[in-house]
Amino acid sequence: MRFEKVLYFTDKEEEFAQLLVDIGLKRNVAKVLVYLANTPEATSRDIERGTDLRQPEVSIAMRSLKENVWIESRESKAESKGRPVKIYCLARSIEDIMETIEQDKRKEVQSQLDLFHKAKQYISA
């Protein structure tokens, strides 16, 4: 039998993940991001347990995080025979990631405001 330490969300981390969801991130992406922000590295299985997500949910979230270049992965040989285990960590600091999210949201809001002002021109014309 082996000893394994698993990290679980605190109320503060749950709140942080919910704030990211409210900002516009998908729930699973937010939970995985918060989990990785609080640990130097983790396997998919660690993330599943710590975030209470299923394997497919973690995989989909990881794909999104990879597309944004927010995570890195490496392979490690499994303790027993079988496939190597992927180990994930943040590629950038959580502060940098939050800055990127903020910039994206500012652009999104500005785009919506530009469309709104253009639509208002039709009313006053």
Q: What is the pLDDT of residues 20-40, one digit of tens each?
A: 999 999 999 999 999 999 999
Do residues 7 and 66 both lie within one domain?
Answer: yes
CATH number at residue 64: 1.10.10.10
Range of the domain at 119: 93-125
Do residues 99 and 39 both lie within one domain?
Answer: no
Do residues 84 and 115 both lie within one domain?
Answer: no
Q: Kindly tell me if the per-residue pLDDT of 75 is higher than 70.
A: yes
Do residues 85 and 107 both lie within one domain?
Answer: no
The one-character DSSP state at 5 is -
> What is the reported pLDDT for 1?
37
> What is the reported pLDDT for 64?
97
- For residue 46, what are the contacts with CB-CB under 8 A and spacing of at least 6? 6, 7, 39
Do residues 70 and 116 both lie within one domain?
Answer: no
Do residues 86 and 99 both lie within one domain?
Answer: no
> What is the reported pLDDT for 94?
97
Looking at the 3D structure of the chain, how many domains does it have?
2
Do residues 33 and 76 both lie within one domain?
Answer: yes
Do residues 57 and 111 both lie within one domain?
Answer: no
> Does an H or E element contain 32, and which?
helix 27-37
Do residues 64 and 78 both lie within one domain?
Answer: yes
- For residue 30, what are the contacts with CB-CB under 8 A and spacing of at least 6? 17, 18, 20, 21
Q: Kindly tell me if the per-residue pLDDT of 71 is higher than 80.
A: yes
Placement of tokens 């590295």 in the chain:
41
Do residues 118 and 74 both lie within one domain?
Answer: no
Pairwise CA distance, residues 71 & 64, whole Å: 10
Q: What mean pLDDT is predicted for residues 95-123?
A: 95
